[in-house]
Structure 1
Amino acid sequence: MTAPLTPPPPPHDNSPHQAWQASPPAGSPGAGTYGQDGPGMKTEVREAAVITVAMTVCGLLLGLLWWWLAPHVPLVGDASGGGWVVYLKDSEGEQAAGVDGTFTLLGLGLGLVSAVVVFLLRRRGGVPLVVALGLGGLLGSVVAWRLGVWLGPTSDVLAHARAVGKGVTFPAPLKLSAKGALLAWPLAAVLVHLGLTALFGPRDPEQQ
């Protein structure tokens, strides 16, 4: 009596040739693109650069809104003492604080919008995107600040007072007294994006 014949198990080919075929070579269409583990570092850096430039350009919008919405600080010129003197028309007014507050609120609003847009475009997040939000928001705030000052009234208040005449009210130059307002946009963008990523971003399999 003989034992039944069973076919031998298929051989396991662990040759280097098979391993080389398992992953696409560098430079192929599948390399450096989005996959199960997200984009490659080059793709993330490229996206971060685009976001930084876009937010810097959006600083022009912030500057226009600040120039349009910020309250005017009234000044008055007086030449009774032989020379021109410029002083605040309302020494107890809060217009100067309103100028800084307007810039801060606009920066917070743009930070919220930019964070939501970036999150919707790239839900996975990543360090380069967070850095881009912070750097782009800061550069955009600086652009907005300088544009608003340039669009606002002249900084030569004595010449302005002479031009309008004695006792005539005229607006003060648009300036940002609290430079910390420049951080409103980048901080809001980074914090909101991190919060959205933590709450609604994709989870790794071991974290589900």
Structure 2
Amino acid sequence: MAVFGAAVLVMGVLGAPLGWLWAAVAPATPVIKSGDGAVYGQAQPEQPIAADGWFSLLGLGFGVLAALAVWILLRRHRGPVGLVVAVAGGFAAALVAWQVGRRIGLAGYQRLLDTVPDGTRFSKPVDLRSGGIELFLGVLPVPYGNLLLPAFAAAVTYTLLAGWSRWPSLRPEPEPDAAWLAAYPSSQPPLSAGEVSSGPVEATPAPPAAPEPPAPGAAEPPRG
């Protein structure tokens, strides 16, 4: 369990640079200070949609890489447990990336919102519109939307790797010949059709030779 918890923790920590990358590549949304707060600087801004799109793409890529890492590094634990680790790690990374990315520049945005006069234009940091966490029945937090995409990508990738594995146990297994030799080190493996053995072959006793004819002039045995 310690190995699985450490793997999920590592993937969760990697969500921090993922969130920084999201904040760096996604465009900020222009807003205007008004009496009720900040309103969009454009009638139909595309920046919030672009922020969701960038988060989705980065999350999908992270989920694929996370599944590959779990498959390779935790090869002894391949199977349902590895799948759970990959999915949990993908979701942990997405949650950290969302919180880290949306907080980059948030303090400066709040300061401008509180201090600048109405009509001033500035930018709002990235955030998710089609993903996040809702409270079910006001108590249970439930994630939704593109916040689940890294976990989804990890689950699909890990399942495909398991389906394409040539080993029934999903773990590397020794070749049949090597396993046979390990079990019977003093013997040779069975020969296949048309194969000639290179080991020693037990000699077959030769049939008895026929008696030689008597030499010319030799005395004949007495005849009774």
CA distance in structure 1 between the aligned counterparts of 2:37 and 2:66, rounded to whole angstroms = 44
The equivalent of 2:156 in structure 1 is: 191
Counterpart position of 1:23 = none
Paired residue secondary structure (2:44): coil
Counterpart of 1:91 (choices 24, 43, 61) is 43
Partners of 2:168 and 2:81 in 1: how far apart? 19
Question: 1:88 deviation in Å?
Answer: 1.1
Q: Secondary structure at the match of 2:87?
A: helix
Higher share in strand: 2
For the pair 1:174 / 2:130, whether they are aligned, the reply is no
User: Alpha carbon RMSD of aligned pairs, Å?
Assistant: 2.5
Identity %: 30
Q: Which has the larger radius of gyration?
A: 2
- Alignment partner of 1:115 out of 67, 76, 80: 67
1:200 aligns with 2:158: no
Question: What CA distance in whole angstroms lies between the structure 2 residues aligned with 1:202 and 1:165?
Answer: 67
The TM-score with structure 2 as length reference comes to: 0.62
Contact 1:123 1:197 in 2 (8 A): no
The residue number in structure 1 matching 2:100 is: 147
In the alignment, structure 2 segments of 5+ residues that lack a partner are 132-144, 174-224
CA distance in 2, matches of 1:162, 1:152: 15
Aligned residue for 1:200, secondary structure, equals coil
> AA paired with 1:144?
A
1:61 aligns with 2:17: yes
Would the alpha carbon gap of residues 104 and 203 (structure 1) be closer, same or farther in structure 2, given more than 3 Å must change?
same
Instruction: Tell me the secondary structure at the aligned position of residue 136 of structure 1.
Output: helix
TM-score (norm 1): 0.66
Unaligned runs of 5+ in 1: 1-44
Secondary structure of the residue aligned to 1:91 is coil
Equivalent of 1:131, from 84, 108, 114?
84
Amino acid at match of 1:66: W
Instruction: State the distance in 2 between where 1:143 and 1:197 align.
Output: 28
Q: Deviations over 1:85-116 (max 9, x none)?
A: 53211122211111111111110010111111
> Which stretches of structure 1, 4 residues or longer, exceed 3 Å deviation after superposition?
154-157, 161-168
Distance 1:196 1:86, change over 3 A: same
* SS of match in other structure, 2:92: helix
- Whose helix fraction is larger, Structure 1's or Structure 2's? 1
Distance 2:166 2:14 in 1: 26
Deviation per residue, 1:21-70 (Å, 9 max, x gap): xxxxxxxxxxxxxxxxxxxxxxxx34322221111111112111111111
1:73 lines up with 2:25 in the alignment: no
Measure how far apart 1:121 and its partner are: 2.3
> What is the aligned residue count?
157
C-alpha distance in structure 1 between counterparts of 2:130 and 2:108, whole Å? 18
